[in-house]
Homo-oligomer: A and B are copies of this chain.
Amino acid sequence: MIQSAQAFAAPFLDPLALGIVAGGTAVALILRTPLGDVGRATGALRTLGRKRFDAGPLITQIEALSRIAAKHGVMTLDRSVITDPDVATAISDIVDGKDGVTVAAHLAERQTARAERHRTASDFWASAAEIAPAMGMIGTLLGLVRMFLAMEDVTAIGGAMAIALLTTLYGAVLATLVAMPISARLRTQARAEYVERMRLIAPLETLATREAPRWQRRAEAA
């Protein structure tokens, strides 16, 4: 079975054609994208396997932290281990005595910056989906030009045509089955994370609004 699949696939594999399309697309992307954004966009691939972001556990944690703050004072939150960067930032703000409005504004700012980063990554792959077919066509044209220049040997035309068309094939596959799905997934993930993270702002703002005056009293008392 595997052998017959290999036998079926063999004529469709050509390292040079693959190099032209994949390499050319990579070059065009690097030419048009600042290096930092390239790193971010390829780094975003690691998040594709992750489950949809769920604010639920974080909200439970915030409630637990809120109870701790109510009992033992907001200062004790300093010692808790918080893995989520947004919650950690907000708690650190609260421990510093910032009020609700400031904490919410800080979180909103982080949301906007994150959305911008996510958009950059998803746009990178959308660009790849645009460039890959163009590179495929460039490869095919290269192949056709070579073929037409060496047409004395009519029997070789078939093979040359086949290889020339392979780059267009690779470009279309790369765009339709790789780059476009990655871009679409990243966009969907980013939107879902944005909406979920919005749910974190209210409880953290409430906590800050409750603790800020107490903090101040304690600070004044000290």
Contact = CB atoms under 8 A, between A and B. Distances in A.
Contact of A159 (B27, B149, B155): B149
Interface of A: 11-12, 24, 27-28, 31-34, 37, 52, 127, 131, 134-135, 137-138, 141-142, 144-152, 155, 157-159, 161-162, 165-166, 168-169, 172-173, 175-177, 180-181, 183-185, 188
Total copies of this chain within the assembly: 5
Main DSSP-derived SS at the A contact region: helix
Contact of A134 (B33, B138, B172): B172
Given A138-B169, A138-B172, A141-B172, 5 more contacts: A12-B142, A28-B180, A127-B184, A131-B180, A144-B165
A141 B188 CA distance: 31
B177 A27 contact: yes
A177 B137 contact: no
Contacts of A172: 134, 137-138, 141
